[in-house]
Amino acid sequence: MEKINIMINGLPGNVAKIMAKFAITDERFTVLPFSLTGQDIPETIASVGTLDFELIKPDIRDKRIKDIQSRYPFFISIDYTHPTAVNENARFYVSNQIPFVMGTTGGDRKALAQTVEDGSTPAVIAPNMAKQIVGFQAMIEYAAHNFPGLFKGYSLTVKESHQNGKADTSGTAKAVVASFNQLGVDFHPDDIQMIRDPKIQEQEWNIPKEHLGGHGWHTYTLTAPDGNSLFEFKHNINGRDIYVSGTFDAVFFLAKKISQGQVSQKIYTMIDVLNSK
């Protein structure tokens, strides 16, 4: 397969920077020197490695995208922007027929799905792009479908810690909670405990200081009514490198589907990506 043109949106954000850093040296990709960004971002250029990216704000992007598409007729966007931009960005991609991989969490997820379904542009959308965590989610989901009510009567506590710049509750935690509800647990996503205080993260959670600015630690604890049985699931991720591989696999998956004319649905998930291996 020829190199895939990709546009990494969300610079100068940390996750987008990491994606750009790895993509620039990945022989599968040609990285476009442009990135959609927020209206409030003061910078006009973001430098990552050997590449300078023009930062394109919402007030000019409709015009700029036409110029970019004239130079690069086909590319896939990688979206790691901000939760508040999820739905607007999806509408932009669909209206301009830009296939995309959405790693950004938050936003109105039902509206997001509807936007893609109403258009003609395929996308990979997932609340988590880390393949191992997606596999964990799939295992819990399998149990939920095959053993409904297994934990009926059990109480659940969910604690998730992320860098204090993460504005929304973890989409992964919400998805896992949905499976536990199918397993018989009465738990509302609003009861997920969000930890964003670096002092608590370092002193009480023992999260390494160097990863306070970028981590994802989750603990799901199930306790029997009599207190004599306890089940606990954890996934603790330091840094953001784990998300790179899954995101790039999603891009490669989507590009292959499109190039081979095998697009059978509008929305794909990371489960689809894993199953394609």
Residue-by-residue DSSP string for 88-110: HHHHHHHHTT--EEE----S-HH
Helix count and strand count (H, E) for the chain: 9, 13
Q: Which residue of the set 131, 166, 174, 257 is catalytic?
A: 166
Q: Is 188 a catalytic residue?
A: no
DSSP, residue by residue, 174-212: HHHHHHHHHTT----GGG-EEE--HHHHHHTS---GGGT
| Residue 111: Cβ within 10 Å count | 12
Q: Active site includes 166? A: yes
Active-site position among 82, 131, 162, 235: 162
Instruction: Dump the DSSP string for 49-60.
Output: TTEEEEEE-TTT
Instruction: Give the whole-angstrom CA distance, residue 123 versus residue 135.
Output: 20
Active site residues: 162, 166
